[in-house]
């Protein structure tokens, strides 16, 4: 029983800063301290401690948060790096910030301009996490679905770039109201930006897609297990 009291005292220390928490913890400790086991039977005492621990855990926010927060954090993180969520996060963020109202607002407010690039960076990290799967993610054997993942993202980039390049008029009012330092007209500036985004953006998606396709189409890869794919061997060839 002494051990039970020690454990309970460690779990629920006095909260001098909060009268409600302090009274609750002191009442629990007093109830444990007043208990005297009969005939050497500690089963009722242990049950008493368990009931007190359960009651305080239900009513004590700090204890409930301490036990549930890490679990919720990891569940949320694992959900964010699922392929569907990561794909939607990056592409919807990309499209949303290129809406004329949002784009002009970000250019006119420096803090929001920084927030825009943070959104791009964060959503891109989620997107590429599913491809690269760095530590501590477990390595998984790539499938042909990775190609759909990359090519569909390139289609989104291509459609937006083509729209900006061929629409024939400036889309963003900010460039009409502010002179270009290189003396380029707003329409030409928009077309140049769209072409750069189209070419380099497509390379970012299509080059990895091509390399992964070559890896998946390699001889004998369909018969390799996950362990064989990621475990190096002495002669430099995949283990059979």
Report yes or no on 186 lying in a domain: yes
Given a cut of 80, whether residue 39 has pLDDT beyond it is: no
Tally of domains within the chain: 2
Contact 154, 173 (CB under 8 A): no
pLDDT digits (tens, 9 = 90+) for 182-221: 889 999 999 999 999 999 999 999 999 999 999 998 875 5
Same domain, yes or no: 95 and 120: yes
Report yes or no on 235 lying in a domain: no
Same domain, yes or no: 162 and 198: yes
User: Which of 31, 46, 68 is the last residue before a domain boundary?
Assistant: 68
Residue ranges making up the domain that contains 37: 2-68
Task: Pick the more confident residue, 176 or 21.
Answer: 176
Same domain, yes or no: 189 and 87: yes
pLDDT, mean of residues 26-30: 61
Average pLDDT of the chain to the nearest whole number:
77
Locus of tokens 């959503």? 123
Same domain, yes or no: 86 and 63: no
Same domain, yes or no: 102 and 36: no
Given a cut of 80, whether residue 45 has pLDDT beyond it is: no
Report yes or no on 236 lying in a domain: no
pLDDT digits (tens, 9 = 90+) for 163-173: 999 999 999 99
According to the model, what pLDDT value does residue 228 have? Answer: 42
Task: Pick the more confident residue, 64 or 113.
Answer: 113
Worst-scoring range by mean pLDDT, 114-118, 132-136, 174-178, 188-192?
132-136
User: Which of 68, 102, 122 is the last residue before a domain boundary?
Assistant: 68
Same domain, yes or no: 51 and 92: no
Report yes or no on 157 lying in a domain: yes
Same domain, yes or no: 6 and 125: no
User: Which of 68, 92, 108 is the last residue before a domain boundary?
Assistant: 68
Model pTM above 0.75 = no
Same domain, yes or no: 15 and 94: no
Same domain, yes or no: 128 and 223: yes
Same domain, yes or no: 61 and 117: no
pLDDT, mean of residues 52-73: 56
Report yes or no on 147 lying in a domain: yes
Same domain, yes or no: 99 and 157: yes
Residue 41, helix vs strand vs coil: strand
Angle between helices 110-132 and 100-108 (to 10 degrees): 120
Worst-scoring range by mean pLDDT, 70-79, 122-131, 157-166?
70-79
Same domain, yes or no: 30 and 103: no
Report yes or no on 240 lying in a domain: no
Distances (CA, A) of 225 to 164, 194, 213, 222, 232: 45, 43, 18, 8, 13
Say how far apart CA 116 and CA 122 lie, in whole Å: 10
């Amino acid at each position: 029983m002494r051990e039970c009291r020690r454990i309970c005292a460690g779990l629920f220390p006095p909260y001098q800063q909060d009268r409600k928490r302090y009274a609750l913890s002191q009442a629990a400790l007093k109830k444990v301290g007043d208990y005297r086991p009969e005939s050497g039977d500690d089963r009722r005492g242990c049950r008493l401690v368990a009931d007190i621990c359960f009651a305080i855990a239900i009513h004590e926010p700090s204890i409930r948060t301490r036990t549930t927060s890490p679990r919720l954090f990891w569940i949320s993180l694992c959900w964010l790096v699922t392929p569907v969520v990561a794909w939607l996060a990056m592409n919807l963020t990309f499209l949303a910030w290129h809406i004329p109202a949002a784009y002009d607002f970000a250019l006119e407010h420096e803090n929001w301009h920084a927030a825009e690039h943070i959104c791009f960076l964060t959503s891109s990290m989620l997107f590429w996490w599913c491809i690269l799967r760095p530590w501590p993610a477990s390595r998984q054997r790539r499938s042909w679905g990775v190609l759909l993942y990359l090519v569909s993202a390139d289609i989104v980039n291509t459609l937006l770039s083509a729209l900006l390049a061929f629409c024939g008029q400036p889309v963003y009012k900010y460039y009409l109201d502010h002179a270009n330092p290189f003396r380029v007209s707003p329409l030409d500036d928009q077309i140049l930006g769209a072409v750069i985004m189209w070419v380099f953006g497509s390379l970012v998606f299509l080059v990895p897609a091509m390399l992964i396709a070559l890896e998946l189409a390699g001889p004998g890869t369909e018969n390799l297990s996950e362990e064989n794919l990621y475990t190096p061997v002495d002669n430099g060839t995949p283990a059979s």
